[in-house]
Amino acid sequence: MSTSAVGLTTAQPQNREVDAVVIGAGFGGLYMAHQLREMGLTVQGYESAPDVGGTWYWNRYPGARTDCEGYYYCYSFDPEMLQQWNWTERYPTQPEMQSYFGYVADKFDLRRSYRFGTRVESAVFDENTDRWQVRTETGEQTSAIYLITAVGILSAPNLPNFPGIESFTGPAYHTAYWPEEGVELAGKRVGIIGTGSTGVQAIPMIAEQAEHLTVFQRTPNYVIPARNRPVSQEEMDEIKTRYDEVWAKVRRHWFSFPFDMANMLAGSMEENERTRIYEKAWANGGFPFLFSFDDLLFDPVANESAAEFVRGKIRETVEDPAVADLLSPRYPFGAKRPPSGTGYYEAFNRDNVSLLDVAANAITEITPRGVRLTDGTEHEVDVLVFATGFDASTGAMTRMNIVGRDGVVLADKWAEGPNTHLGISTHGFPNMFMITGPQSPFTNIPPCAQNTADWIAEAITHLRREGASRMEATEAAEQAWTEQITAIAEQTLLTAGKDVHSWFTGTNVEGKAAVINVFFGGADKYMDICEQVAADNYSGFEITTTEPAYAN
Ligand code: N01
Task: Assign residue 406 the CATH number of its domain.
Answer: 3.50.50.60
Query: What's residue 496's pLDDT?
Result: 80
| Å from CA of 55 to ligand 1 middle | 14
- Give me ligand 1 centre to Cα 477, in Å: 32
CA of 439 to the centre of ligand 1 (A): 19
| Helices assigned H by DSSP within 242-355 | 243-252, 271-284, 300-317, 321-326, 344-347
Q: Are 14 and 140 a contacting pair, CB within 8 Å?
A: yes
SS3 percent helix, strand, coil of the chain, rounded to 5, is 35, 20, 45
Chain Cα centroid distance, residue 81: 23
Ligand 1 midpoint to CA 500 (Å): 12
> Which residues fall within 8 angstroms of residue 342, CB to CB, at 6 or more apart?
63, 201, 204, 225, 226, 228
Domain that holds residue 209: 165-230+251-386
**Residue of the nearest CA to atom 6 in ligand 1?**
194
Atom 37 of ligand 1 has which residue's CA nearest to it?
Answer: 389
Q: Which H or E element spans position 225? A: strand 224-225
d(CA 509, ligand 1 centre) in Å: 10
- At position 522, the amino acid (one-letter code) is G
**Angle at Cα 23 formed by Cα 21 and Cα 29, nearest 5°?**
100
Residue 246 forms part of a structural domain: no
Domain boundary among 345, 371, 386: 386
Identify the residue whose C-alpha is closest to ligand 1 atom 19.
196
User: Ligand 1: which atom is nearest the Cα of residue 176?
Assistant: 9
Same domain, 416 and 509: yes
Å from CA of 219 to ligand 1 middle: 10
User: How much distance in Å is there from the Cα of 329 to the middle of ligand 1?
Assistant: 15
- In this structure, are residues 43 and 114 in contact, taking their beta carbons and an 8 Å threshold? no
Distance of CA 347 from the midpoint of ligand 1 (Å)? 18
> Among positive and negative, which fits the CA dihedral 518, 522, 527, 532?
negative
Nearest CA to ligand 1 atom 18: 197
Q: How crowded is the C-beta side of 526, counted as CA atoms within 13 Å?
A: 33
Residue of 72, 198, 290, 386 to mutate, ligand 1, most atoms within 8 A of C-beta: 198
Say how far apart CA 336 and CA 222 lie, in whole Å: 8
Angle at 53 between CA 47 and CA 57, to 5 degrees: 90
Whether residues 408 and 368 fall in one domain: no
**What kind and span of H or E run contains 142?**
strand 141-149
Ligand 1 neighbours (beta carbon < 6 A): 66-67, 154, 160, 193-199, 201, 218-219, 337, 358, 363, 387-390, 501, 503, 508
Do 33 and 93 share a domain, yes or no? Answer: yes
- In a shared domain, residues 409 and 530: yes
Which atom of ligand 1 is the closest one to the Cα of 197? 19
- The pick from 218, 290, 520 for probing ligand 1's pocket by mutation, whose C-beta has the most ligand atoms within 8 angstroms, reads 218
Q: What is the pLDDT of residues 387-433, one digit of tens each?
A: 999 999 999 999 999 999 999 999 999 999 999 999 999 999 999 99
Candidate of 193, 214, 386 to mutate for ligand 1, largest count of ligand atoms within 8 Å of Cβ: 193
Pair 453, 333 in one domain? no
Instruction: Tell whether 424 and 379 lie within a shared domain.
Output: no
The single-letter code of the amino acid at 122 is: S
Q: What is the pLDDT of residue 173?
A: 98
Ligand 1 centre and the CA of 177: distance in Å?
A: 14
Establish if 540 belongs to a structural domain.
yes
**Contact indicator for 345, 317 with CB cutoff of 8 Å:** yes
For ligand 1, the distance from its centroid to the CA atom of residue 197, given in whole angstroms, is: 6
Among 386, 412, 430, residue at a domain's last position: 386
CA pair distance 513, 496, nearest whole angstrom:
17
Atom of ligand 1 nearest to the CA of 363: 4
| 297 secondary structure, DSSP code | T
Which residue puts its alpha carbon closest to atom 41 of ligand 1? 160
Report the C-alpha gap between 381 and 190 in whole angstroms. Answer: 5
Name the residue type at position 348: F
- Asked, for residue 105, whether it belongs to a domain, the answer is yes
Query: Is 378 in the same domain as 410?
Result: no
Which spans in 467-504 are helix H? Answer: 475-491
Domain check: are 184 and 323 in the same one?
yes
Full DSSP string of 376-427: S-EEE-SEEEE---B-TTTHHHHTSEEE-GGG-BHHHHTTT----BTTTB-T
Q: Please compute, for residue 445, the number of CA atoms within 13 A of its CA located in the half-sphere on the CB side.
A: 20
Weakly modelled stretches of the chain, pLDDT under 70: 1-14, 498, 547-552
| Number of separate domains in the chain | 2
Q: Is residue 245 situated within a structural domain?
A: no
Residue 58 burial class via C-beta count within 10 angstroms: exposed 0-12, middle 13-18, buried 19 and up: buried
For ligand 1, the distance from its centroid to the CA atom of residue 337, given in whole angstroms, is 9
Give the residue among 447, 90, 427, 443 at the shortest CA–CA distance from 247: 447
Index of the ligand 1 atom closest to the CA of residue 340: 48
3-state secondary structure of 501: coil
pLDDT at 152: 96
Cα–ligand 1 centroid distance for 76 (angstroms): 29
Burial class (CB in 10 A: 0-12, 13-18, 19+), 491: exposed
Among residues 389, 390, 328, 377, the alpha carbon closest in space to that of 214 is found at 377
Please tell me the predicted confidence (pLDDT) of residue 14: 60
Residue 235 falls inside a structural domain: no
Answer yes or no: are the C-beta atoms of 45 and 29 closer than 8 Å.
Answer: yes
389 Cα: distance to centroid of ligand 1 (angstroms): 4
State how far the Cα of 384 lies from the Cα of 43, in Å rounded to an integer: 41
* Pair type for strands 43-46 and 16-23: parallel
Among residues 353, 386, 419, the one where a domain terminates is: 386
Per the rule left: phi > 0, alpha: psi between -120 and 50, beta: everything else, 15 is left
In this structure, are residues 43 and 31 in contact, taking their beta carbons and an 8 Å threshold? no
Task: Please indicate, yes or no, whether residues 43 and 136 belong to a single structural domain of this protein.
Answer: yes
For residue 218, tell me if it sits in a domain.
Answer: yes
How does DSSP assign 126-188, residue by residue? ETTTTEEEEEETTS-EEEEEEEEE---SS-SB-----TTGGG--S-EEEGGG--TT----BT-
Return d(Cα 14, Cα 492) in angstroms, integer: 50
Q: Compute, in angstroms, the gap from residue 259 CA to the centroid of ligand 1.
A: 27
Q: Whose CA is nearest to atom 46 of ligand 1?
A: 388
In a domain, 244, yes or no: no
Residues 171 and 153 in one domain: no
Give me the phi and psi of 407, to 5 degrees please. 70, 20
Which residue, judged by its Cα, is nearest atom 12 of ligand 1? 196
> Which residue, by CA, sits nearest to atom 26 of ligand 1?
197
Ordered alpha helix ranges (H), 414-472:
445-466
Instruction: Give the count of alpha carbons within 13 A of 222, CB side only.
Output: 27
Note whether residue 236 is domain-resident: no
Are 152 and 257 part of one and the same domain?
A: no
Q: What is the pLDDT of residue 547?
A: 63
CA distance 293 to 37: 43
Ligand 1 atom nearest residue 200's Cα: 19
Q: Which of 59, 60, 287, 388 for a ligand 1 pocket mutation test, highest count of atoms within 8 Å of Cβ?
A: 388
DSSP code for 65? B
pLDDT of 495: 86
Same domain, residue pair 321 and 451: no
